[in-house]
Chain A
Amino acid sequence: MIENSDQEILALIRDNNSRRQGFNILVQKYQKKIYWNIRRMVVNHDDADDLCQEVFIKVFRYLENYRADSSLYTWIYRISINETLTFLKQKQKRFFFSLTDYEHQLANTLQADPWFSGNEIQLRLQKAILLLPEKQRLVFNMKYFDEEMTFEKLSEVLETSVGALKASYHHAVKKIEKELTGV
């Protein structure tokens, strides 16, 4: 299957007759990347599904405002990150009076999650990732699990300098190593 370029997709969407068709192509092109990016942050499938729907609804609604300052993928990615971070903040607020925080609770329930099939080492890695601060977790997940993601692309998406991102990633790796080895 030949993948449409962003320009072709945008041209289809801007034409009222092919708007829905263009949007369907856009969803098919980016849904997996967006979904997995969200899923690694929120862990739970239902939450990831809800957020993914929210992201594409926003994309559909605000696509006319897209000015092509950045690539379409970067723009969608940014929406998904904003939605995810807002969601996590809301969850953390609900856990304000709880004895455990949201990330610890997620780490503890990961093993019982029917949609988690990782082995022992993968479980330990995911638990260690969940204990990272939000920004470091985001950088680590995007860089570590996405082969195509470079620091330069990441810098564009997160609007942060490459140096700061490299430092964040480095700190994240060190913390995960410490968590895995228990040193």
Chain B
Amino acid sequence: MKTQKSHSHKPGSLNTDDPQLKENPFQVPDQYFEKFIDTLDLQQNKGRKVHFLPAVRQKVKRYSVAAVLIGLVSVGTILFFMMNKPETGQYSDKLGRIQDTPKRSQVKQPVDTSQKAGVLSVARQTIIPEVKTPAKQNVTNDNSIETLTNEGITDDDIIEYLIDEGFDVIDLSYQP
């Protein structure tokens, strides 16, 4: 027989011996325990109905979601900067530095061809040594230096270069 505890129960505290509290408030469907054994599918190892994704699939799913999110953020960032490209600074110099205003060379101006001959002679003397100097440091083949210095430099490039460097085209072409 169960003996009763000697201490009295404090009002408001949990009476651990209260049979009403120890009564099971939960219910199960009729005949649940009797039928339980039949619901066990031991051959197929079928477990609970609520299946969680296996750990590997869960990881793959998680990383895929993360990769897609990172991709979306990257594309969004690139698009944002492309759409908000500043109006100023659309002009750049030869070295690719952004300029707020166009240079004289970047504003299309008709070039007086009569000035070309005088300009070219000076320009070739100015530019070619400049290009040759660094080229000599890296390239040992003399033929390739010639190719480097002569290829791709048009007369217009030379004129533009001189104008950028502050030469006055009119003064250079002056023939006394």
Chain A residues in contact with chain B, CB under 8 A? 23-24, 27-28, 31-32, 35-36, 39-40, 43, 45-47, 49-54, 56-57, 60-61, 90, 115-119, 121-123, 125-126, 144-145, 173, 176-177, 180-181, 183
The smallest beta-carbon distance between B96 and chain A, in angstroms, is: 47
Within 8 A of A (CB), among B1-56: 12-14, 16, 20-29, 32-33, 36-37, 39-42, 45-50, 52
Given contacts A50-B49, A56-B40, contact A145 B29 (CB under 8 A): no
Query: A71 vs B50: C-alpha distance in the bound complex, in angstroms?
Result: 30
Chain B residues near A23 (CB, 8 Å)? Answer: 42
- Whether B24 pairs with A36 at a CB distance below 8 angstroms is yes
- Whether B40 pairs with A122 at a CB distance below 8 angstroms is no
Query: A181 vs B20: C-alpha distance in the bound complex, in angstroms?
Result: 17
22 A–B contacts from the bound complex (CB under 8 Å): A31-B33, A32-B33, A35-B36, A43-B26, A45-B27, A45-B29, A49-B32, A51-B48, A52-B36, A53-B39, A56-B40, A57-B42, A57-B45, A115-B29, A117-B26, A119-B20, A121-B20, A122-B23, A145-B22, A173-B14, A177-B14, A183-B12
Chain B residues near A123 (CB, 8 Å)? Answer: 25
Given contacts A27-B40, A50-B50, A116-B26, contact A61 B16 (CB under 8 A): no
- Whether B25 pairs with A116 at a CB distance below 8 angstroms is yes
Query: A28 vs B48: C-alpha distance in the bound complex, in angstroms?
Result: 19
- Whether A31 pairs with B36 at a CB distance below 8 angstroms is yes
Q: How many B residues have CB within 8 A of the partner chain?
A: 29
Chain A residues near B16 (CB, 8 Å)? Answer: 144, 173
Closest to B11 in A: A181
Chain A residues near B36 (CB, 8 Å)? Answer: 27, 31, 35, 52
- Whether B47 pairs with A35 at a CB distance below 8 angstroms is no
- Please give me the 4 A-B residue pairs with the lowest Cβ-Cβ distance, nearest first: A118-B25, A50-B48, A181-B12, A122-B25
The smallest beta-carbon distance between A143 and chain B, in angstroms, is: 10
Query: A27 vs B37: C-alpha distance in the bound complex, in angstroms?
Result: 7
Residue of A24, A51, A125 ringed by the most chain B CB atoms within 10 A: A125
